[in-house]
Structure 1
């Protein structure tokens, strides 16, 4: 399993950014960044946020909580729940191809699911759709 430092270094190299460039863009020193990449030190939350922003990723990826390195900014708890539901291989099958879809298509699918859930939230058991 990749460590925090491995993930920082991997994304930095993937984006063809030097340690010095990343340090400058994040407001860190090269020494700090080097220690993060070698796992000698752990970044504080603000440094982690800066690194994630510059590397165009998310904190959960850097921390090893997910293997999805795409930046995820969700507006609220409901959005988080929808995202979690759709990321599950079983539930994500509801939308054919969701897990492999481009981000724009995923956003459209999430919006559609939010619409459906909003329409259904006040429906009582046994009540037909649209009543």
Structure 2
């Protein structure tokens, strides 16, 4: 199931029309239709508004999986927020950030071994 299908499924479950959902998030029903047919993807702001209106998470809408399990395992909420922001980046930027994290963790492991 894709992003658009998940939006439509949740909207129908909540017995909302496209117009009603659009009004809740400050869009037009035409834009909701574009999302549901996957002709357009929302900005991160709109994604969050859609998630709130549909009582779900942006992660579920985009990927079909809830991040609640991760959230309960990761106690640093600021770090979780940063990871969510990184997920929205393009592949090249994600790779760069992963490289920085890996380099930092490797440095720490080497420092521990030296002591």
Structure 1 gap segments, 5+ residues each: 81-131
1:75 and 1:27, CA in 2 relative to 1: closer, same or farther beyond 3 A? farther
Shift of 1:18: 0.4
- Corresponding residue for residue 31 of structure 2: 32
What is the TM-score of this pair, normalised by structure 2? 0.58
- Corresponding residue for residue 55 of structure 2: 56
- Corresponding residue for residue 6 of structure 2: 7
- Corresponding residue for residue 75 of structure 2: 78
- Corresponding residue for residue 22 of structure 2: 23
Number of residue pairs aligned between Structure 1 and Structure 2: 76
CA RMSD of aligned residues (A): 2.6
The runs of at least 4 aligned residues of structure 1 exceeding 6 Å deviation read: none
1:7 and 1:65, CA in 2 relative to 1: closer, same or farther beyond 3 A? closer
Hey, which of these two has a bigger chunk of helix by percent?
2
